[in-house]
A and B are shown apart, each in its own frame.
Chain A
């Protein structure tokens, strides 16, 4: 486990998202919004095509936190969905990178400031987790 010392940069994690992942996530989460599986519907509302569920990307951020902290209890998790993550209709999908820096710690609560990017563009705004520790 990486020490949760303020200022520590956590090793960036890279995760891949394919259309099949989105279908699976739709079933597991109950979010069947067609913008996450139908190019026709996605483009009809002005999106570039099928995009990942914002919550899929936030789940990947939480996955990185769980991996860095070996499953520390999460007390808060938040982000803005500032840029869409388009997922192409191919077998390789798209890669999302989750970077993190350990922030302030007080009263057993440690903040982790995250940076979540896709193709070099930040896709989450102020993604933050607070864990016990």
Chain B
């Protein structure tokens, strides 16, 4: 695959933070409703994925990877504090590792999600499986 070398070259690269995202009550309620999660003021634990997805899509664009070839391998969140309504959050993604197994690239990423004061709210890591296929 022509992309392999360029993806591997991105290991250690830290991407610029995403544009600030305002955590609004409407967006949180919509996110909770999508999984039938009762919303009573506290933000669902997986909500930071909204930020992580934004950061991931920027990385995929730079790496020239099609989103439809990506399958999520694993996901971890560690929270310094709960996300709150009114937070302005950004996510900065770093490519931690790339391994090739059976024609697939296994891409390890880590994203730091920080508030408007630059304080980390959540550290999240994801493994992305890039299914190389017959491209």
**Residues on A facing B (Cβ under 8 Å):** 15, 21, 24-25, 27-35, 41, 44-47, 53-56, 58-60, 62-63, 65-67, 71, 73-81, 84, 125, 129
A-B contact list, 7 entries, CB within 8 Å: A21-B35, A24-B34, A28-B34, A30-B54, A32-B67, A54-B75, A74-B45
Task: Name the one of A45, A54, A67 contacting B131, with C-beta atoms under 8 angstroms.
Answer: A45
Q: Is the CB of A73 within 8 A of B82?
A: yes
Q: Is the CB of B75 within 8 A of A45?
A: no
* A73–B74 CA distance with the chains assembled, in angstroms: 22
Q: Is the CB of A55 within 8 A of B46?
A: yes
Q: A53-B72, A66-B38 are in contact. Are A28 and B49 (CB under 8 A)?
A: no
CB neighbours (8 Å) of B45 from chain A are 62, 65-66, 74, 77, 129
> Looking across the interface, which residue of chain B has its beta carbon closest to that of A22?
B34
Q: A29-B34, A63-B36 are in contact. Are A81 and B79 (CB under 8 A)?
A: no
Q: Is the CB of B76 within 8 A of A81?
A: no
Q: Is the CB of B36 within 8 A of A15?
A: yes
Q: A74-B45, A125-B74 are in contact. Are A25 and B34 (CB under 8 A)?
A: yes
Which B residues, 85 to 134, have Cβ-Cβ distances below 8 Å to chain A? Answer: 127, 131, 133
Q: Is the interface of B mostly helix, strand, loop or mixed?
A: mixed
CB neighbours (8 Å) of A33 from chain B are 67-68, 70
CB neighbours (8 Å) of B33 from chain A are 24, 28
Residues 22-55 of B, flagged 1 when their CB comes within 8 A of A and 0 if not, give 0000010011011111101010111001100110
Whether B20 sits at the interface, judged by CB under 8 Å, is: no
Task: Name the one of A58, A80, A81 contacting B46, with C-beta atoms under 8 angstroms.
Answer: A58
Q: Is the CB of B37 within 8 A of A59?
A: yes
CB neighbours (8 Å) of A35 from chain B are 68, 71
A45 to chain B, nearest CB (A): 5
CB neighbours (8 Å) of A25 from chain B are 34-35
* A129–B35 CA distance with the chains assembled, in angstroms: 18
